[in-house]
Amino acid sequence: MANENCLNGIQCPSCKSDGPFTIETSCIGVWVDDGIGGEDCSGFEYDGGSNITCMECDATGIVDQFRRKEKDGEEKEESL
Ligand SMILES: [Zn+2]
């Protein structure tokens, strides 16, 4: 099953798993002098350089390395 939401296009290059993964995220919060101000921490974000670990096979890398190459029907499958 391909990921289409938060993990859109992410697949382990090692074991081809669609997840789960652990991804190092940055959370956007409102900080005041006392600490974090907002009740919610709404902006979990990761980018192509975030560290990612496949929980299936323990492969590690960055998100860009785990992105499936999406090609419109031009995917080369070695069928030999
Ligand atoms: Zn894996």
CA of 36 to the centre of ligand 1 (A): 35
Tokens representing 16? 């081809």
Which residue type sits at 76?
K
**pLDDT higher than threshold 80 for residue 15:** yes
- Residue bearing the bigger pLDDT, 59 or 9: 59
Grade residue 12 by pLDDT with cuts at 50, 70 and 90.
very high
Distance from chain centroid for Cα 77: 24
Which tokens is 62 given? 């960055």
pTM of the model: 0.66
Task: Please state whether beta strands 51-54 and 31-32 pair in parallel, antiparallel, or not at all (unpaired).
Answer: unpaired
For the segment 21-69, what is each residue's pLDDT rounded down to a tens digit?
999 887 777 777 776 665 555 566 788 999 999 999 999 999 999 998 7
pLDDT reading at 14 higher than 90 = yes
What is the 43 CA–ligand 1 centroid distance (Å)? Answer: 26
In this prediction, residue 73 carries a pLDDT of 53
- pLDDT number for residue 1: 60
How far is ligand 1, taken at its centre, from the CA of residue 63, in Å?
A: 13
Q: How far is the CA of 44 from the centre of ligand 1 (A)?
A: 23
